Amino acid sequence: MFEQIIATINSWLWGSGQILIYLLLFAGFWFSYHLRFVQFRHFRHMFSVMKNSAKGDSAGISSFQALCTGLSARVGTGNLAGVSVAISLGGSGAIFWMWVIALLGMATGFAESILGQLYKVHDENKEFRGGPAYYIQMGLGSRKFAVLFAICLFLGYGFSFSAMQANTIAEALNNAFNVPTMYVGIALTLVAGMIVLGGLRSIARFAEWVVPFMGITFVISALLVTVFNLDLLPKVIADVFASAFGLQEAGAGALGAAIKNGIQRGLYSNEAGAGSVPHASACATPYPNHPAAQGYVQMLGVFIDTIVLCSCTAMIILLADMPISGEMEGISLTQQAMSVHLGDYGDYFVAIAITFFAFTSVVANYAYAESNLHLFHLDNKLGRLVYTSAYLAMVLWGSSAALKQVWAMADVALGLMTLVNITAIVLLTPTIVALTKDYQQKRLSGKEIAFSKHDIKLQGKTSDGIWE
């Protein structure tokens, strides 16, 4: 019964209904248009904003920590296992549509991250908290809408996503080293528990050390694989574009599969529009001190996640030049591809890589859901204890659960979150546009960029004592 309900909802959101595919494309075009394609016009500025990103204060983490925390959640199974699922089910053309949704999603990610900053609040420890539930409640004045999103977030990032990440780690280590999945689950639960009990700052410090290391290592590995297979590269690129537009044997059927799987897995990887990353954005003390600064930071995160890291995984798989079927799902396909390039060491490499990638997502997922405890007045010892216990139980359970079952739960949670969040940020478009114009005008003036809530006409109200 439960599985049938999950399957029906997924079919409505992602399958025959394809509601979210149309909604994500709409949101990408909507914000690209209203923000005058900020992801292309200010592409270089994304990087310049990071110059002073290490600065933070007692109330918030630094912009660099916020970027790494956002990437911690983004860079996970979606980059290694999700890409392989997209290719196995949608063909090589799915990669092209992952690129498309990422480029459009950069504008969507910019918009939601701005709102996360603008409508942030102080928690009981005088630290910043925020996210879609907060800008829905404060910006749109809808408590019920905010609670609905928060519930979806707890079901998704608090529980099913963490279970799915643990599942992928356990599968990879079992494939490579024959480690029993239950043992992996116990180890993950213990280590994750030690990190998350330190709170957001502990998670952010962990992220800023681990994420750059693992990202650079993976990119270098993919570049070496590409260099060693340069003769195959032109054919692979041609196949990606041919498959993307249904120019191969299967025709329209292949086109539909490529679009669906590319967009679905692209979203799962970069999370633009899902409403997850605004939690990391809200917790930062931005530099310059303007909400739009975090928009640029997190827009860069979308680019790094999908255009860079997902492309690396795709090249590793496609340059292996091996037959791929719909049965080769999950991390196993990526491991097999890397084994073609590196022999037995390839299997080990991917297992270690996915362990780091997915584990950072496990701890970041905790932080996102934990940010919403304040919304329910559960930001206390008892509330944290109950949530942390449930979260760790899902990590342990997920390590031994069936892959398709975990992925299906994650897809439902992500889909519902995205549906609620995109509706909210579209309704808050006037504030997003006003914030962006204010930032750009101050930047062009050559004066110090700083924001006050009195500088623009915003929807709803902001928390007292933050943007005075």
Q: Does position 102 have pLDDT exceeding 80, yes or no?
A: yes
For residue 226, give its domain range: 14-431
Q: Does position 89 have pLDDT exceeding 80, yes or no?
A: no
pLDDT score for 331: 65
Give me the count of residues in the chain: 468
The Cα 287–Cα 462 span in angstroms is 19
The residue among 84 and 29 whose pLDDT is bigger is 29
Residue 95 lies in a domain: yes
Residue 446 lies in a domain: no
Residue 344 lies in a domain: yes
Q: For 327-374, what is each residue's pLDDT tens digit?
A: 445 667 777 888 889 887 887 887 788 788 888 888 888 888 888 888
pLDDT over 70, % of the chain: 93
Closest CA to 279 of 102, 415, 158, 100: 158
Closest CA to 56 of 198, 205, 197, 196: 205
Q: For 434-452, what is each residue's pLDDT tens digit?
A: 999 999 999 998 778 889 8
Q: Does position 249 have pLDDT exceeding 60, yes or no?
A: no
What's the Rg (C-alpha) of the chain?
Answer: 21
Q: Does position 194 have pLDDT exceeding 50, yes or no?
A: yes
Calculate mean pLDDT across residues 26-44. 95
The Cα 3–Cα 344 span in angstroms is 37
Q: Both ends of the chain: CA-CA distance in Å? A: 52
Residue 456 lies in a domain: no
Residue 226 has a CB neighbour count (10 Å cut-off) of 16
Query: Is there a contact between 109 and 277 (Cβ–Cβ < 8 Å)?
Result: yes
Question: Is residue 6 very low, low, confident or very high in pLDDT (cuts 50, 70, 90)?
Answer: confident
Closest CA to 222 of 209, 208, 210, 236: 236
- Ranked by mean pLDDT, the top range of 148-157, 166-175, 455-464 is 455-464
Question: Is residue 210 very low, low, confident or very high in pLDDT (cuts 50, 70, 90)?
Answer: confident
Closest CA to 9 of 155, 206, 228: 155
Q: Does position 243 have pLDDT exceeding 60, yes or no?
A: yes
Residue 300 lies in a domain: yes
Least confident piece of the model among 33-42, 45-54, 240-249, 251-260: 251-260
pLDDT score for 327: 46
Query: Is there a contact between 150 and 372 (Cβ–Cβ < 8 Å)?
Result: yes
Q: Does position 17 have pLDDT exceeding 60, yes or no?
A: yes
The Cα 160–Cα 138 span in angstroms is 28
pLDDT over 90, % of the chain: 33
Q: How many CA atoms lie within 13 A of 15 on its CB side?
A: 11
Question: Is residue 293 very low, low, confident or very high in pLDDT (cuts 50, 70, 90)?
Answer: very high
Least confident piece of the model among 135-149, 245-259, 313-327: 245-259
Query: Is there a contact between 458 and 431 (Cβ–Cβ < 8 Å)?
Result: yes
Mean pLDDT of the chain: 85
* Residue type, position 292, single letter: A
Q: Does position 457 have pLDDT exceeding 70, yes or no?
A: yes
pLDDT score for 58: 65
pLDDT score for 254: 63
Question: Is residue 78 very low, low, confident or very high in pLDDT (cuts 50, 70, 90)?
Answer: low
Tokens 């990887």 belong to residue: 269
The Cα 205–Cα 201 span in angstroms is 6
Query: Is there a contact between 119 and 138 (Cβ–Cβ < 8 Å)?
Result: yes
Within 8 A by CB and 6+ apart from 61, the residues are 69, 200, 201, 204, 283, 284, 285
Residue 356 lies in a domain: yes
- Looking at the 3D structure of the chain, how many domains does it have? 1
Residue 363 lies in a domain: yes
Query: Is there a contact between 399 and 167 (Cβ–Cβ < 8 Å)?
Result: yes
Long-range contacts of 212-216 (CB under 8 A, 24+ apart): 212/68, 214/75, 214/353, 214/356, 214/357, 214/360, 215/71, 215/75, 215/304, 215/309
Which CATH number covers residue 358?
A: 1.20.1740.10
Question: Is residue 255 very low, low, confident or very high in pLDDT (cuts 50, 70, 90)?
Answer: low
pLDDT score for 38: 96
CA distances from 392 to 287, 376, 404 (A): 34, 21, 21
Residue 442 lies in a domain: no
pLDDT score for 169: 85
